[in-house]
Amino acid sequence: MSGEAAIGIHDLSFATTQYVLTHATLAAETGTDVAKYHVGIGQRSMSVPAADEDIVTMAAAAAAPIIARHGADRIRTVVLATETSVDQAKAAGIYVHSLLGLPSATRVVELKQACYGATAALQFAVGLVHRDRTQQVLVIASDVSRYELGSPGEATQGAAAVAMLVGADPALVRIEDPSGVFTADVMDFWRPNYRSTALVDGQESISAYLQAVEGAWKDYTEQGGREPGEFRAFCYHQPFTKMAYKAHKHLLHHCGHDADEGEIARSLGHTTTYNADVGNSYTASTYLGLAALLDDADDLTGEAIGFLSYGSGSVAEFFAGTVVPGYRAHLRTEAHRAAIARRQDIDYARYRALHEHSFPADGGDHPVPRETTGPYRMAGLLGHKRIYEPR
Ligand code: HMG
């Protein structure tokens, strides 16, 4: 491992939606045994955006506390990763840049590769900081996951944004070299441009994920990475929290590393608490896992954390980070817990109406009623233009 330059995550903040649908409510509606959700896939509830929320409002809400704490003087790049983009041409990050009042001397770009995009953004950010250690990069992952009503994927929906400030001498986590990377052309999950919900072959997607874990780990090992036993915890992409357990057991088995249930729970347990309540937040999921780990676990100072990022289609990356001494003073634990606790419980009918809501494509004036109590909202569509405002 070349630990040459300490570059990594200096601050991390997340935001989620106004509403929450519990799996108990979903189970009662669909006649499913709730244990399938609570135990079988490891999910308790899913975040549901209000009609005036989307990936932009969540991204701005996640990033605003970072700008408030550090200012924007050193941020010259904003990379927003998403697979639920609001425009085919304009980067969603430009709306966020505007809502946050960032300087015009900033480059803003959007990245996509399913749930993997934020890890590409993080690695690109590390590269930019290597080039100029005085600069910081604002990396944002923001997504709303949507499957068809009544489909097996419905129980794995969710929404959240994670914002990370990447810079030299980070206060939270140093990102290590090397990375193990893996790409395979598979159709396990995808969303053609004309669809608002994803298409997925559920069981195929699980196998593709496990193959990618193996492939990324193989490359990580060949690049001279750490041994499995060196990690204190592993943050996996969590389409549902049980997937982290499947992936980790697969990895340990592949490595011939014996671990009992207690050790596995110790490696993963803290990383799943936010995801179990939020659902699949696609690009944000792995980093919501990191937020939960840092917020919930006992002192992690100096410990190595393994990250496995997976995006269907598929690309995966395994890399390591080390937790920085003093990190606890920089956490946003209270705000994170409040973001989850403040969501308003909705019934199935309300969730269904929100799920089915879409804007007319006629270029008319379509204001959205005020709903969210978050800091930013989408005021409506006017002449095909999305209008955002502070609440
Ligand atoms: P399903 O097929 O309805 O569920 O949906 P199942 O029958 O496989 O059951 C799920 C688990 O619950 C099983 O456990 C059952 O045994 C258990 P397992 O055998 O897997 O350990 N179960 C119960 N447990 C307790 N009490 C009960 C009970 N009943 C059943 N009564 C599926 C599952 C994952 C297929 C579905 O949710 C789905 O299609 N999800 C969307 C796709 C997905 O999340 N794939 C994951 C890998 S791909 C990925 O991570 C990328 C992604 O994030 C997208 C991106 O990259 O952009 C999705």
What's the gap in Å between 272 CA and the centre of ligand 1?
A: 16
Which residues line the pocket of ligand 1, CB cutoff 6 A? 33, 35-36, 39-41, 83, 114-115, 152-153, 155-156, 188-189, 200, 202-203, 205-206, 209, 237, 239-240, 243, 280, 282, 310-312
pLDDT tens sequence across 266-275: 999 999 999 9
Going by C-beta distance under 8 Å and a sequence separation of 6 or more, which residues neighbour residue 296?
270, 273
pLDDT tens sequence across 97-137: 999 999 999 999 999 999 999 999 999 999 999 999 999 99
pLDDT tens sequence across 326-358: 999 999 999 999 999 999 999 999 999 999 999
Q: What percent of the chain has pLDDT over 90?
A: 98
Atom of ligand 1 nearest to the CA of 35: 26
Closest CA to ligand 1's atom 44? 239
pTM of the model: 0.98
Going by C-beta distance under 8 Å and a sequence separation of 6 or more, which residues neighbour residue 356?
149
pLDDT at position 1 = 42
CB atoms near residue 25 (< 10 Å) = 18
What's the gap in Å between 40 CA and the centre of ligand 1?
A: 7
Atom of ligand 1 nearest to the CA of 285: 53
pLDDT at position 259 = 80
Q: What percent of the chain has pLDDT over 70?
A: 99
- For residues 94 and 72, give the distance between their C-alpha atoms in angstroms, rounded to a whole number: 15
In this prediction, residues 19-30 reach a mean pLDDT of 98
List the domain boundaries for the chain. 7-390
Beta bridge partners of 137: 77, 166
pLDDT tens sequence across 207-246: 999 999 999 999 999 999 999 999 999 999 999 999 999 9
What's the gap in Å between 292 CA and the centre of ligand 1?
A: 22
Above 50 in pLDDT, residue 3? no
pLDDT tens sequence across 142-199: 999 999 999 999 999 999 999 999 999 999 999 999 999 999 999 999 999 999 999 9
pLDDT at position 257 = 87
Q: pLDDT-based confidence at 5, cuts 50/70/90? A: low
Report the relative pairing of strands 107-111 and 75-81 from DSSP bridges.
parallel
pLDDT tens sequence across 275-326: 999 999 999 999 999 999 999 999 999 999 999 999 999 999 999 999 999 9
Q: pLDDT-based confidence at 2, cuts 50/70/90? A: very low
Residues with a known catalytic role: 83, 115, 237
Top-tier CATH class for 7-390: alpha beta
pLDDT at position 354 = 98
Above 70 in pLDDT, residue 4? no
Q: How many residues does the chain have?
A: 391
pLDDT at position 218 = 98
pLDDT at position 258 = 81
Within 13 Å, how many C-alpha atoms sit on residue 213's CB side? 28
pLDDT at position 269 = 94
Atom of ligand 1 nearest to the CA of 114: 57
